[in-house]
Amino acid sequence: MKFSIEKKLAGTLARAGTIETANGTIQTPAFVVVGTKATVKSLTSEQLRSLNAQVVLANTYHLYLQPGTDIVEQAGGFGPFMDWHGPTMTDSGGFQAFSLGAAFGQQVSKVATGKAPMQNIDLEGLYSNKSNPLAKVTDEGVLFKSHLDGSKHLFTPESSMLAQWKLGADMIFAFDECTSPTAPYDYQAKSLARTYEWAKRCLVHWNKLNAESEAGLPEKIPQEFRRALFGVVQGGRFQDLREQAARDLGSLDFDGYGIGGSFTKDDIGTAVGWVNALLPEEKPRHLLGIGEPIDLFEGVQAGCDLFDCVLPTRIGRHGTLYTHDGKIHIKNAKFVADFAPIEDGCTCYTCTHHTRAYLAHLFRGDEITAGTLASIHNVHFLLRLVEKIRASILDDTFFEYKKEFLEKYSR
């Protein structure tokens, strides 16, 4: 992988650039479409190409369990497996330490609306006697119980690197522990130290896998064609921990950086800015699991180059659609006889061929096509939004575009 910066936006950390991989070039800032199980829910790879998606991210934990990383490796990696031949990414499985462990049964996500820490979290990342979690965090790794059959699996930094190597992505993430946004300071600090130790172990094993793959070759693989490893910055909502993580991981030889963990909705831009002010400028930064339109502007302004999120297809499958005037819920009665497109001026397949009334009919009739058409529009909306953000950096109109978009979207 090779990253280059084309333009920096004065007075901010925002920049426009390019990431070169063995499977194609990504123009940044870019939205990464999530294909959890080597499929973007409700969409085909051909539809992704028609939307001009640049890069797809798959989930290591889910593909490890089904169909298994050996099967995916035999297919040539998850990209060829799903007939996607552009750039690819995989996460590490670390987020499942949160979603199947501390967050299991708690109705808490990685983004909180308040800032009060929970007091009932113990030092192994599990909430005290309030659920039957499927993951337990230790210094060695994360012990998972499969959500499919209850079988036990230990994910370590080393096994995560091997799994992601077999999945064949161009860019992968170091194994980390994602903590709850409500976790107290003491636990965040303990978790941060653990994630740093895991990061060093990931680097050692990733370099070993690269050396083994290049053994016998006449020369080393050029940097732009070598698969990349991103470190993951954690630290919760605490500035000193975030900055410590950025300094520690920034001193290690990662190819790029993911910014993970937990935020409150109001401090995404602030917390990300703390981190990106300290990370090496010449390496790409990926804001993990964030994809709301408003958050994309904040993340770009704070120096992020890549974003991934399941939201466009997840909310689409339930009838919620992005428009420049804000989200609409197509199941509402007012859309039953509305023969306008989802959004005037939108060039996606859904808007150029179908009406709000048709989508309302499909959703009310529980038709499978409903989720596909809604997801096409939502993914198109975010891809075009980030394209326009990139263009506004290049022509120095970012703040004008941000103001214009948010005034209309938020009203």
Q: Which residues are catalytic?
A: 91, 308
Q: Identity (one letter) of the amino acid at 286?
A: H
Burial of 130: CB neighbours in 10 Å, binned 0-12, 13-18, 19+:
exposed
3-class DSSP assignment, residue 379: helix
Work out whether strand 15-21 and strand 320-321 pair parallel, antiparallel, or are unpaired: unpaired
The two structure tokens encoding residue 148: 């499919």
- How far is residue 370's CA from residue 385's CA, in Å, rounded to a whole number? 23
Apex CA 170: angle with CA 296 and CA 61, to 5°?
80
State the helix-helix crossing angle for 356-364 and 368-394, rounded to 10 degrees. 140
214: CB partners within 8 A, 6+ apart: 220, 221
- How far is residue 112's CA from residue 137's CA, in Å, rounded to a whole number? 22
State the helix-helix crossing angle for 398-409 and 368-394, rounded to 10 degrees. 150
Query: What is the residue-wise DSSP string for 228-254?
Result: EEEEEE--TT-HHHHHHHHHHHHTS--
Apex CA 277: angle with CA 272 and CA 281, to 5°?
110
